[in-house]
A = this chain, B = another copy of it.
Amino acid sequence: MAICVTTMLRERGFKVTPQRLAIYNYLSSTKAHPNAETIFNDLQPVYPTMSLATVYKTMEILREIGLVQVLNIGEDSFRYDAFTENHPHVRCMSCGRVDDIDDIKAGKFVDDVASSTSYQLTGQQFYFFGVCPECQKQRKNPS
């Protein structure tokens, strides 16, 4: 992974810096879909000089070279995902967590849309909303 991001950066003429590696490694090792501030806060202990602006600038580059996808799931900030293969996401309306939805074949649905629209499609994002298992439990057993 680190080799991959190093190569990808160099190929596109971007420099390989400790900050960029740290940000990418952090993002590719979590399934939490953090936003910029969370990434910044979590890296702070290890990279005390890291700036929030650097997180934003790095995410823009990683998005541009296809190593990161940006999620807009109805919040006031963007979330980031290093797993760039297209997959749906679901957000818990109670606690706010965002999870992946894996192993779902939307192929038929996407094909139907592609053949019915006059747009030339290049991508898609599927967002689901609901209540996560933990919050379901809490609602049944209010402490």
Q: Which residues of A contact B (CB under 8 A)?
A: 70, 72-74, 88, 90, 92-93, 99, 101, 103-106, 108-109, 112-113, 116-133, 136
Contact B121–A90 (Cβ < 8 Å): yes
Q: In whole angstroms, what is the CA distance A106 to B66 when docked?
A: 28
Q: Which of B88, B119, B126, B129 contacts A132 (CB 8 A)?
A: B119
Q: Which of B101, B117, B123 contacts A101 (CB 8 A)?
A: B117
* Interface of chain A: mostly helix, strand, loop or mixed: mixed
| B-side contacts of A122, CB under 8 Å | 93, 129-131
Q: How far is the CA of A103 from the CA of B117 in the complex (A)?
A: 10
Whole-angstrom CA separation of A125 from B73 in the bound complex? 9
